[in-house]
Amino acid sequence: MPSTPPKKDTGKSYILIWSILIFSAYLVIYEFRALDHNIYFNWNYIFENVSRSGIFILFLASILLSYIISDTGIGIDKKYVLPSIFLGAFLLGAVFWSAPEASPGVATYFTEAKYLKEYGISTFIRDWGGKLDTLSDFPVVPFIFGLIFRFIGESKIYIQIFTTTMFAGTGVLTYLIAGRLWDEKTGIYAALFLLSFPYLLLKTSFTLVDVPTMFFVAAAIYATLNAMETWGTSRDMGRIWILASVTFIVLVFLSKISAWIMLGTVPAIFLIYYIKRGTAILYPATLISLLSVTLITAFVYYKIDVLLKIFEYYLDFRIRLQSFNESLWSLLFFQVSPLVTLLAGFSFYIALKKRDIKYVLLLAWFWIPFISLSDTRIRYMVPALPALAIMAAITLNEIKPERTKKFVSYSIVICSIMLAVLLYLPFTYTFSSMNIKNAAEYTNNLDIDRIEVYAAFPDGYIYNLDMLLPIFDLHSKKDIATPKYRRNKPPPDAIPWWWSYKFPWPYYSKETSPESAIVIISPRVDQPPPELLEKRLEEGYRLAKVYSAGHTGINNPYVVRVFLPVKLQSP
């Protein structure tokens, strides 16, 4: 009698177990959300008005949807993988463009960008760090923002398109890096996991340097890998990749101080290829190192006084703002998917078991920065998030059978996207910065050319609300005037960052006009206006709008009032 062939394992026997694990993981961190230390996207705030039954339904629906998708057998032709990764990441990032700016740090980046737009590239380079003040970040990303303003147009949407393109490009690079060092499936799952970080998805909306810096780090790694790989087969292509590697290494250096430690990935790549190919890689490795160091040294020599000031401020900032630091464990379990973190942690065991020397790259890219930057700010780790996605993909690729693997990856990504779209994004609409966005959009529709913007707050107030004036300008399509008026002095217990930056006020300062609309940003609705406005408002203006959304992670709510000339009717 012929034997019955064994049934093919479709993975259904494991899906229930994984469903319970994924569902339980999210419920556990929901119950322990008091451990989240994130300043802006803290789970204690996000889930404040969400019931347990709502959370239960959200995660259950995500898992059921993942099961249905994994059961369809839908796949993507290999030749469409790269454009699918890019387009999918870009469209998902674009969903979050309606979010208001979360960080007042946007003011410095926007001001630098506008300075280049107004005065040109050479003036920007000459004045950066001098007349054009800077704090703790370097000039490359604001420089790119400025080029966008100068040659495309001064609008936040163009910055968002650029930043989202950098996010989508990082997804492609994550796929390519993992595919080159491990295999294509690891690359696909790594790119997919990059979409499972709600914190990162929100970042695509903001005028900050974090997402572009993440792209530069990933591009430097991929270019260096290709330089090592192609040198032995094609010297011409090898030279091109060497130049690309040097370019992106320098861009990383000129983007953000906290990203410098992630340049440790470059010698890690040299080590990997030295073990693989021996002394044949010494020439490209030496060339990359010498060219990078030479260009960086030239910049340091040219701006040494500025760099010393930045380092002094950076160290003082870290000491004085320790109460505003965020635990990076909060990043691993709340701001990215907890399942990705668990899978990534298990990858260390897999690498040891297989004696995988390639894992050295991930040690340099993620684990060393994580240990070094622990208990600082979560945003410093953004450029290392692709490494976390790759580590999780390495573990996932060990799971059998294929359908279970798909179900797990879909569940993780869909749960995270549902959280980001249904909870994170609406939560940002309660930020006080939404008041600025709404007020600017309201004045954009007025039949008026100039908007005068002022900050009014009492003496002794620890936040310098003048820092918010450029953010209004970022959202506005009008001619912005901030005439000179008496500005408060910092109190002894002032938040240093809010008071340290010196705006190039001549670019803002313009004369007042009876035809202008007047916008006042203040801690409360009844805050008296600056003295020079009292008579003008009393005699020729009326209060047209008050915007007062008041929730923010750093507890400095502010309202925005819009005053219009009496003769002007509201739209």
In tens, the pLDDT along 544-554 reads 999 987 765 55
Query: 92-113, pLDDT tens digit by residue?
Result: 999 999 999 988 889 889 999 9
Same domain, 303 and 396: yes
What average pLDDT score do residues 202-218 get? 95
Distance CA 544, CA 542 (A): 6
- What percentage of the chain has pLDDT greater than the value 90? 51
Say if residue 1's pLDDT is above 70.
no
Same domain, 179 and 261: yes
Predicted confidence at residue 571, as pLDDT, reads 60
**Last residue of a domain, which of 380, 401, 422?**
401
Structure tokens at 112: 């630098």
Predicted confidence at residue 13, as pLDDT, reads 66
Bond from prior residue into 401 cis (ω within 30 degrees of 0): yes
Same domain, 218 and 94: yes
274 part of a folded domain = yes
Predicted confidence at residue 14, as pLDDT, reads 78
Say if residue 531's pLDDT is above 90.
no
Predicted confidence at residue 487, as pLDDT, reads 74
Domain total of the chain: 2
Predicted confidence at residue 136, as pLDDT, reads 67
397 part of a folded domain = yes
Band (pLDDT 50/70/90 cuts) for residue 68 is confident
Same domain, 250 and 338: yes
Predicted confidence at residue 199, as pLDDT, reads 93
Predicted confidence at residue 316, as pLDDT, reads 66
Same domain, 170 and 314: yes
Say if residue 77's pLDDT is above 70.
no
Say if residue 408's pLDDT is above 70.
yes
**Closest CA relative to residue 505, chosen from 463, 436, 453, 441:** 453
CA quadruple 166, 45, 100, 310: dihedral positive or negative? Answer: negative
H-type alpha helices, 231-278: 235-253, 265-277
Same domain, 522 and 454: yes
185 part of a folded domain = yes
Same domain, 304 and 362: yes
Query: 351-375, pLDDT tens digit by residue?
Result: 999 999 999 999 999 999 998 887 6
Query: 115-170, pLDDT tens digit by residue?
Result: 999 999 999 999 888 888 887 678 899 999 999 999 999 999 999 999 999 999 99
Same domain, 291 and 381: yes
Predicted confidence at residue 322, as pLDDT, reads 56
Predicted confidence at residue 59, as pLDDT, reads 85
Same domain, 394 and 440: no
**Closest CA relative to residue 141, chosen from 168, 173, 170, 166:** 166
Same domain, 396 and 437: no
417 part of a folded domain = no
Say if residue 2's pLDDT is above 70.
no
Arithmetic mean of pLDDT over the chain: 87
What average pLDDT score do residues 425-446 get? 93
Task: Give the CA count within 13 Å in the CB-facing half-sphere of 568.
Answer: 22
pTM value is 0.92
Query: DSSP characters for 504-530?
Result: -GGGT-----TTSEEEEEESSTTPPPP
52 part of a folded domain = no
Same domain, 298 and 342: yes
Distance CA 32, CA 34 (A): 5
Residue 495 Rama label (left phi>0; alpha psi -120 to 50; beta)? beta
What average pLDDT score do residues 14-18 get? 82
Say if residue 417's pLDDT is above 90.
yes
355 part of a folded domain = yes
Segments of 281-348 assigned E as strands:
none
Contact at 8 Å (CB) between 66 and 410? yes
348 part of a folded domain = yes
233 against 35, higher pLDDT: 35
Same domain, 232 and 342: yes
Distance CA 263, CA 260 (A): 5
Band (pLDDT 50/70/90 cuts) for residue 62 is confident
Residue 193: which domain range?
76-104+155-401
